Amino acid sequence: MIDPLHGLDGRTALGVLARAALSLSGTENPASQTVLGNESAIRREVLAAARRRIGLAADDTSPAALEQIGDVPDEEAERLAGPPNVDAALRRLAEQGALPSDMYEVAIFPTVSEWLGTKFELELELIKATICNPIREQHFGPAESPRQLSLVSLFYKEFKTKWPFKDFGMLVVGHRNGLLLTVVQGWRIYPSQLNVSGSSDLVGLLQKFANEYGEPIEWEGRRSSFFLSVDKALPGMAYKIANKPHMKIGISQIVHNKDGIISAALVVAVDIHRYRDMLDRMAVAPAEMLGDWRAKPVERTAS
């Protein structure tokens, strides 16, 4: 540290350096005005130390000299500030829902693979491609109330096939925790099977899907196949309805634990057999899908 700055805390020293650098411009910049009682003396010593460090004469006030002198406080400020905390910055972006989606570490909630069985491998590729390059996305930051969506992200991407009737979109729902995105739902939406017009809101699109492929269940005095939020999470399971033995209902939800209070959001109750039957009817091989639709690994430059 430049000697005159010894005894100052880091934030104060950074302020002195910044104002000293601004004072070299030769203009009456309000931002260069001194703040500390003895700052004028400290500034003179700082600039004199800068001259000595780069070997400039005390009376050299040429533009080139002043530019060199100004570099010294800037370099000292960077050293004092230390390296940027990239991880903390990324976590702040993730909490706000502003992190580029291809930077998340993606995990898949077990029920997604359990319900899809042998179809899971292809669906996983579609899910990853959707997260990496969505055409629409919707993010919710931290919420104050359990009744609000909190740290939830939805992504949507369209996929074309050789048969336009079988073109579909993939709707992915995930929960953010730092840089981890846990996918709890990944559904194919077929415009030929479900009217998606006017569904720019992805939460609304999920509700349309649940209304079409779901089965109403009773919870908290309400009956529906879709709940935006519930005060108490549903049992995390798939179950059968007594009078419909061939129907398997899958419950999917985002569970929140805030101060020990467990609630849930974006709850859907989907008829898994009906959904899988639809996938069978509309099945296409990966080779029959058009374009370069797979997610590409993101190359990172080592820092």
**Which comes out higher in pLDDT, residue 294 or 91?**
294
**With pLDDT > 90 as the criterion, what percentage of the chain qualifies?**
33
Greater model confidence, 120 or 258 = 120
Same domain, 72 and 201: no
- 94 and 57 fall within a common domain: no
As a whole number of angstroms, the distance between CA 103 and CA 80 comes to 29
Give me the domain span that covers residue 236: 88-288
As a whole number of angstroms, the distance between CA 245 and CA 268 comes to 20
Answer yes or no: do 102 and 70 share one domain.
no
pTM: 0.69
> 150 and 59, same structural domain?
no
Last residue of a domain, one of 81, 106, 140: 81
Is 294 part of any domain? no
| Three-class DSSP labels, the chain | CCHHHCCCCHHHHHHHHHHHHHHCCCCCCHHHCCCCCCHHHHHHHHHHHHHHHHCCCCCCCCHHHHHHHHHHHHHHHHHHHCCCCHHHHHHHHHHHCCCCHHHCEEEECHHHHHHHHHHHHHHHHHHHHHHHCCCEEEEECCCCCCCCCCCEEEEEEEECECCHHHCEEEEEEEEEECCEEEEEEEEEECCCCCCCCCCCCHHHHHHHHHHHHECCEEECCEEECEEEEECCCCCCCEEEECCEEEEEEEEEEEEEEECCEEEEEEEEEEEHHHHHHHHHHCCCCHHHECCCCCCCCCCCCCC
**What pLDDT is attached to residue 184?**
93
Residue 93 has which token pair? 């972006």
pLDDT at 159 (0 to 100) = 95
pLDDT at 303: 32
Which has the minimum average pLDDT: 14-18, 99-103, 124-128, 285-289? Answer: 14-18
Residue 158 lies in a domain: yes
Residue 202: predicted pLDDT: 94
**pLDDT one-digit tens code per residue, 52-91:** 887 777 777 777 777 777 777 677 777 666 555 567 777 7
Q: Kindly tell me if the per-residue pLDDT of 119 is higher than 70.
A: yes
Q: Which of 81, 107, 141 is the last residue of a domain?
A: 81
Range picked from 39-43, 53-57, 134-138 for highest mean pLDDT: 134-138
CA separation for the pair 71, 33 (Å, rounded): 19
Domain shared by 201 and 112, yes or no: yes
Cα 162 from chain centroid (whole Å): 33
Burial class (CB in 10 A: 0-12, 13-18, 19+), 54: exposed
Average pLDDT in the chain:
81
Q: How many domains does the chain have?
A: 2
Backbone angles phi, psi at 133, to 5 degrees: -145, 65
99 and 190 both lie in a single domain: yes
Q: Which of 81, 99, 126 delimits the end of a domain?
A: 81
**pLDDT at res. 125:** 93
Residue 115 has pLDDT above 90, yes or no: no
Per-residue model confidence (pLDDT) at position 200: 72
pLDDT value of position 211: 93
